[in-house]
Chain A
């Protein structure tokens, strides 16, 4: 969406990601999603009097890995207390990094070639989770409030971008690329629907090249769709406001997905004074060079690198193929594609099956052996399976695993050998002499006619490409 009358939006994002550590940030409790409420708790993450935090080394390593992937400087850092009262925060302060974050600066390059600067990526702890029952259903005016502290003390990294984003589509691309990095580093599973990725968007508008306007912060955008819609809505709202002679007030706003609008949560004047100060219960954090080197050595290739590696192996510059490359990289399916290319599968087929069939059942890919994927595609390429049959076989492999040849046999897919395809084609040439003559004289459209006839005869079990090859051979 472009804004009218030369307005430009300026967006910066704060992305919070829960780290996939085995234990919480400051204690030994399991970091697990979906356990019975208040079962993964101890004196430390319940903030009981006298308890003290001890840093989880794995959380530090994952935070460093994220920073390294974002080209940040790993800096000596400290922890602060962010003080405010809230029932799901057991100490009534949150331990967070403030003026000295572990990752300073950096950037993220997007697939469209644009670059978004990173201001910082710092460590902090998550809060518990409140549920408000009855009455208003919100914290004030509910009949009862229940708190689950399982999430309390789960490690988070907050990644703060510079105000470099200029459209909601770019914001989306930034989050997708960042999510790819978080998945690649092992820091996060990237599941927005489970809340392991939460986004706040700072939005302002200005005339091109004018100084930045006053920004509003939209809190807790939990899906890519919400992110895009909320940014577009908010930028348009600010333009309307300014053009009507009003001014934008610096404030925190809430996005209502159902209404499709943002509304005021609190103004700058109402903003809390968090009284940040150094957390005296923790010591400073300064990972030495050898620790940093160990983390860096274990970094897998990031999406950008994997994308260019994959593109380099694909000759046809078709836009749809490029879309498939994006999907394959975002979802980390490129190892399957590389395996297929290694075995001689055509790039377009390998990409299409990965971007559609595998992407449709990501959980199933854990059951799918790369060899089985390659075998299925080769069978399809050789004409032993039709496209429909190959897809069915893949679906079965994703659901239960196994050997594609056994599955094809079990499904009763007739092996259309080139011999039987040859005799089918020969029969059709006899049956449709006029059409055959026109095809032989160069009317390629007739190929489709013969494919249709072959499919009819074989009940869809033939492979279109194999039919064309057979027709060409007899031309």
Chain B
């Protein structure tokens, strides 16, 4: 399948049309969606209208954006005007947002063609898409395995060659982990780089939107198109989108990189071996790699599982049956709210709402939520210390390759551990990228993670590009 870069170039030159690319995407969806359960909704009509607009502009000789005619899959926690948006939850069934997320507006402005909404773990809570109310998504590379999560549908859409690019959201690893498990590039941008307006919040202080792509260059193109200040998001960084595409081929000569012990400890041997080979490749390309221990990383998981559920317990309060989505009728408003939420939310969402409510409760706040905030501060300080010594960090994205369905569903802690390497970056609000490097058990892809300080996306993309070349994708 063509990359986004190729599609946009060919659409601009007239070698292909947006409609032809869309038709190819739609037929790929028709062919495999039933088997893989990638898209929850395909907006064929809207997509055709968007594709026509691009083709008309090209015909009139007008300028079209960097993603002209590129089909894109949207994680179903992003609002798109008039298109059903569910967060893979019964509680939002039938709801159609009356507005576009800023990211959707920016994709459209860049010429992209949104094809539909992809499956996720309910409200982005999970690491396998097994928590979706509409059934799990299967890994296109091996349908007996999970695609990862929570952006599993978006990862599968690209891995199954349905769309060249997809958009996901990453609260604790939800872009990078499925990217690693599906053999894709996935970026968790610095907090505030991409507007969250229109992203249905899981944990507001951790959520970031980012791309899932086949190539590093495509990730740079997409990120450049969707990044930049948005007056609708108070936490959005004040500056315009950084220049990223221009830096992809910058290489790593003279860069200092640290292999972090805590980002490989506990990983399967095949994963550790890939990270070691990646380190060798970076050295080969001119970087200096040292080893470093950041013990604070061990505290990340515990802090995350207090902060994220605490925020979620508040963010998900609005799903009460009063204004939109599911309403289970009862005689009394309190009873209606209880019945609606009981019927509308799945087990994992309820578990996290309970956890978060507890962590914020009077008498427990200091011991749980308050303590987690202190850990978060220490995490930020630990990252800052590391980045005074080196330019970026390297480690594994996930402890293992894609796992079997059902292998972790009975044990929430085992599932939570699959995000142990990705969570620290969310807590610090900094940047990280996962790039495929080598394969492991059953020939499945392995993801290597590069981490950098806030606004270091250009550096990380250049590092990932070096690994991409070294892994045989020039």
The complex places the Cα of A277 from the Cα of B372 at a distance, in Å, of: 13
List residues of chain B with CB within 8 A of the CB of A286: none
List residues of chain B with CB within 8 A of the CB of A48: 79, 97-99, 323-324
* Interface-central residue, A50, A81, A141, A276, by most chain B CB under 10 Å: A50
In the complex, identify which listed stretch (A87-95, A166-174, A397-405) lies at the interface while the others stay far away: A87-95
Check A275/B357 contact, CB under 8 A, given A48-B97, A141-B332: yes
B92 contact from A49, A54, A92, Cβ within 8 A? A49
List residues of chain A with CB within 8 A of the CB of B199: 50
Beta-carbon contact of A93 and B322 below 8 Å: no
Check A93/B79 contact, CB under 8 A, given A50-B97, A55-B234, A283-B234: no
Task: For chain B, give the interface size range.
Answer: 35 or more
What is the minimal beta-carbon distance from B56 to any residue of chain A, in angstroms? 30
The complex places the Cα of A275 from the Cα of B313 at a distance, in Å, of: 10
- Tell me if B367 is interfacial: C-beta within 8 Å of chain A: no
Beta-carbon contact of A275 and B361 below 8 Å: yes
A52 contact from B87, B197, B323, B360, Cβ within 8 A? B197
- Tell me if A53 is interfacial: C-beta within 8 Å of chain B: yes
A280 contact from B92, B205, B337, B360, Cβ within 8 A? B205
Beta-carbon contact of B334 and A49 below 8 Å: no
Beta-carbon contact of A50 and B332 below 8 Å: no
List residues of chain B with CB within 8 A of the CB of A145: 333
What residue in chain A is nearest B369 (Cβ atoms)? A277
What residue in chain B is nearest A27 (Cβ atoms)? B232
List residues of chain A with CB within 8 A of the CB of B196: 52
Beta-carbon contact of B317 and A281 below 8 Å: no
Residues in A50-102 with C-beta less than 8 Å from chain B: 50-55, 81, 83, 85, 87, 90-93
- Chain B at the A interface: SS class: loop
List residues of chain A with CB within 8 A of the CB of B233: 52, 54
List residues of chain B with CB within 8 A of the CB of A273: 361-362
What is the minimal beta-carbon distance from B303 to any residue of chain A, in angstroms? 14
B201 contact from A43, A50, A277, A283, Cβ within 8 A? A50
Q: Mask for A354-378, Cβ within 8 A of B = 1, else 0?
A: 0000000000000000000000000
- Tell me if A322 is interfacial: C-beta within 8 Å of chain B: no
* Interface-central residue, A90, A93, A280, by most chain B CB under 10 Å: A280
What is the minimal beta-carbon distance from A110 to any residue of chain B, in angstroms? 36
Beta-carbon contact of A140 and B332 below 8 Å: yes
What residue in chain B is nearest A130 (Cβ atoms)? B333
B317 contact from A91, A140, A147, Cβ within 8 A? A91
What residue in chain A is nearest B92 (Cβ atoms)? A49
- Tell me if A46 is interfacial: C-beta within 8 Å of chain B: yes
The complex places the Cα of A281 from the Cα of B310 at a distance, in Å, of: 14
What residue in chain A is nearest B230 (Cβ atoms)? A52
List residues of chain A with CB within 8 A of the CB of B85: 49
Residues in B313-334 with C-beta less than 8 Å from chain A: 313-314, 317-320, 322-324, 332-334
What is the minimal beta-carbon distance from A268 to any residue of chain B, in angstroms? 12
What is the minimal beta-carbon distance from A159 to any residue of chain B, in angstroms? 25
Beta-carbon contact of B234 and A50 below 8 Å: no
- Tell me if A282 is interfacial: C-beta within 8 Å of chain B: yes
What residue in chain B is nearest A49 (Cβ atoms)? B200
The complex places the Cα of A15 from the Cα of B79 at a distance, in Å, of: 39
- Tell me if A139 is interfacial: C-beta within 8 Å of chain B: yes
- Chain A at the B interface: SS class: loop
Q: Mask for B82-113, Cβ within 8 A of A = 1, else 0?
A: 00010100001001011101000000000000
Beta-carbon contact of B360 and A54 below 8 Å: no
The complex places the Cα of A54 from the Cα of B229 at a distance, in Å, of: 13
What is the minimal beta-carbon distance from B154 to any residue of chain A, in angstroms? 17
Residues in B273-316 with C-beta less than 8 Å from chain A: 310-311, 313-314
* Interface-central residue, A48, A81, A140, A273, by most chain B CB under 10 Å: A48
- Tell me if A47 is interfacial: C-beta within 8 Å of chain B: yes
Beta-carbon contact of B235 and A283 below 8 Å: yes
Beta-carbon contact of A50 and B200 below 8 Å: yes
List residues of chain B with CB within 8 A of the CB of A282: 234-235
* Interface-central residue, B99, B199, B333, by most chain A CB under 10 Å: B333
Q: Mask for A135-147, Cβ within 8 A of B = 1, else 0?
A: 0000111000101
The complex places the Cα of A139 from the Cα of B331 at a distance, in Å, of: 11
Beta-carbon contact of A50 and B311 below 8 Å: no
- Tell me if B198 is interfacial: C-beta within 8 Å of chain A: yes
What is the minimal beta-carbon distance from B125 to any residue of chain A, in angstroms? 15
Residues in A240-299 with C-beta less than 8 Å from chain B: 273, 275-277, 280-283
* Interface-central residue, A49, A140, A141, A276, by most chain B CB under 10 Å: A49
What is the minimal beta-carbon distance from A269 to any residue of chain B, in angstroms? 12
Beta-carbon contact of B369 and A49 below 8 Å: no
A83 contact from B234, B317, B333, B337, Cβ within 8 A? B317
Beta-carbon contact of A92 and B320 below 8 Å: yes
List residues of chain A with CB within 8 A of the CB of B324: 48-49
Check A54/B314 contact, CB under 8 A, given A43-B98, A140-B334, A273-B362: no
List residues of chain A with CB within 8 A of the CB of B361: 273, 275
List residues of chain A with CB within 8 A of the CB of B97: 43, 48-50
Beta-carbon contact of B101 and A50 below 8 Å: yes
B323 contact from A51, A90, A281, Cβ within 8 A? A90
List residues of chain B with CB within 8 A of the CB of A275: 313-314, 357, 360-362, 365
What residue in chain A is nearest B362 (Cβ atoms)? A273
Subset of 18 A-B contacts with CB under 8 Å: A43-B97, A48-B98, A49-B92, A49-B201, A50-B97, A50-B201, A55-B234, A87-B320, A87-B333, A90-B323, A91-B317, A92-B318, A140-B332, A140-B333, A141-B332, A276-B360, A280-B311, A281-B235
Residues of A within 8 A of B (CB): 43, 46-55, 81, 83, 85, 87, 90-93, 139-141, 145, 147, 273, 275-277, 280-283
**8 tightest CB-CB pairs across the interface, nearest first?**
A92-B317, A280-B205, A275-B360, A280-B204, A49-B200, A50-B198, A50-B79, A87-B322
Q: A47-B323, A50-B198 are in contact. List 8 more A-B contacts (CB 8 A).
A: A43-B97, A49-B97, A49-B200, A49-B319, A83-B317, A87-B322, A140-B334, A280-B205
